[in-house]
């Protein structure tokens, strides 16, 4: 297998982007990534685009071809473009496909992008519910806030997590988001703000939930051997892992453990040949505050039932033992679902290049991502190292 590196990354500002269409967002992120990688469209062999539900959100299918066309890869260049869908893990899976294309030797230089335009539809909750088991969950009235509330209730009953500890996840991620100029929310919040916000699905309140966002992100990958031709700061992909689980939450033996995260994490660490102590920071899928706590436990960074205390003690904030979601996570940076997995890679690139500004993790050399589809039916995880 060919070793793979990220050589360029670009991202739009996340938020309610009434000023931009899906094609505008993709063009902005894609052109930015190409310029950052110092490559031209003629050098691109393939494009993979993560998009969960453009057909429902804006009535647009055939998203791969649309994006290729508007970033200048269609027409005379005839670059093959493929849309990738795995619910909220669409972006992470698009990146995995790009890595696989280069690692296999089938392609030399590939773009992985992710995009979603969510604010143009009236009922985003119903669109997102399609990532659950429509017949056995959504048709019965279960929404994702409701499903993750079940996870939170199960976790609290088992491990004694307090409402105050759970709120600290949101407080910390808004602290990080306030230092990210691309974030949907760039304001710090207090614990009382979280705990006094509107109840959505007990025990989850409004500030426990990620927002509906528009946005796009893109990265360029090639072989590590060729990477130095384009950049002085290539980021090596040490591992790319994917795992699956039942699509319905009620079919799992343990609501508060995502088996797919456990499996993908184990695969990733085995591929990378590193230990947990070697990871300097991690971007995880905090669609709801409880999801972040489960993620860092299921990936093996802290024992089960201890993530709440670990977070409340400040260990997941920049400067702590394990900075988590330095971008602001889905909670503060935003969650345009198809773009999230690529945004996570973008953040890793910024950190490992030492270009993250006020949210920089000192001496960062190894970073990890975890991108989740649904309540954990699909999980994609990657590990990266700053190339020597």
Residues forming the active site: 88, 335
Q: Which helix (H) or strand (E) holds 186?
A: none
Q: Which long-range contacts (C-beta less than 8 Å, at least 24 apart) are formed by 297-303? A: 297/257, 298/257, 298/258, 298/261, 298/262, 298/265, 299/261, 299/262, 299/265, 299/368, 299/370, 299/381, 300/262, 300/265, 300/266, 300/269, 300/276, 301/276
> Sign of the CA dihedral 305, 166, 211, 127?
positive
Report d(CA 378, CA 242) in Å as an integer: 7
Task: For 331, list phi and psi in degrees, rounded to 5.
Answer: -60, -45
Name the token pair of 37: 């990688």
Distances in whole angstroms, Cα of residue 116 to Cα of each of 101, 124, 209, 213, 231: 24, 12, 18, 8, 29
Q: Which helix (H) or strand (E) holds 263?
A: helix 259-272
Which residues are CB-neighbours of 327 under 8 A, at least 6 positions away?
176, 177, 180, 182, 183, 283, 333, 343, 344, 346, 347, 359
- Residue 211 DSSP class: P
CB 385 within 8 A of CB 346: no
Burial of 25 (0-12, 13-18, 19+ CB in 10 A): buried
Q: Which helix (H) or strand (E) holds 252?
A: none
Report d(CA 356, CA 331) in Å as an integer: 18
Virtual CA dihedral for 171, 172, 174, 176, nearest 10 degrees?
160
CA nearest to 113, candidates 283, 370, 343: 343
- Residue 15 DSSP class: B
């Amino acid at each position: 297998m060919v070793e793979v590196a990220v050589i360029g990354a670009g991202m739009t500002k996340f938020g309610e982007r009434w000023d931009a269409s899906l094609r505008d967002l993709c063009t902005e992120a894609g052109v930015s990534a190409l310029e950052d990688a110092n490559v031209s469209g003629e050098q691109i062999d393939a494009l993979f685009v993560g998009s969960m539900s453009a057909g429902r959100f804006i009535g647009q299918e055939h998203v791969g071809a649309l994006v290729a066309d508007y970033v200048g890869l269609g027409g005379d260049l005839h670059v093959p473009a493929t849309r990738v869908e795995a619910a909220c893990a669409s972006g992470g899976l698009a990146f995995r496909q790009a890595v696989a294309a280069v690692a296999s030797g089938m392609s030399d230089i590939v773009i992985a992008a992710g995009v979603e335009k969510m604010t143009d539809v009236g009922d985003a909750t119903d669109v997102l519910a399609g990532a659950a088991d429509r017949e056995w969950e959504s048709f019965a009235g279960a929404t994702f806030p409701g499903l993750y509330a079940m996870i939170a209730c199960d976790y609290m009953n088992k491990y004694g997590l307090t409402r105050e500890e759970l709120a600290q996840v949101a407080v910390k991620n808004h602290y990080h988001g306030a230092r990210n100029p691309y974030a949907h929310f760039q304001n710090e919040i207090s614990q009382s703000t979280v705990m006094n916000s509107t109840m959505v699905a007990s025990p989850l309140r409004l500030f426990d939930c990620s927002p509906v966002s528009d946005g796009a992100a893109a990265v360029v990958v090639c072989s590590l051997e060729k990477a130095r031709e384009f950049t002085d700061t290539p980021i090596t992909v040490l591992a790319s892992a994917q795992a699956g689980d039942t699509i319905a939450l009620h079919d799992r033996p343990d609501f508060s453990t995502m088996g797919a995260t456990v499996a993908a994490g184990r695969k990733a660490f085995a591929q990378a040949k590193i230990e947990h102590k070697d990871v300097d920071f991690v971007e995880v899928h905090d669609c709801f505050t409880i999801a972040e706590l489960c993620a860092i436990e299921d990936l093996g960074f802290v024992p089960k039932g201890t993530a709440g205390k670990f977070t409340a003690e400040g260990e997941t904030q920049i400067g702590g033992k394990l900075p988590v979601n330095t971008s602001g996570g889905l909670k503060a940076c935003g969650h345009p679902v198809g773009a999230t997995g690529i945004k996570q890679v973008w953040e890793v690139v910024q950190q490992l290049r030492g270009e993250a500004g006020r949210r920089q993790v000192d001496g960062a050399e190894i970073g990890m991502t975890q991108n989740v589809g649904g309540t954990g039916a699909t999980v994609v995880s990657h590990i990266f190292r700053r190339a020597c």
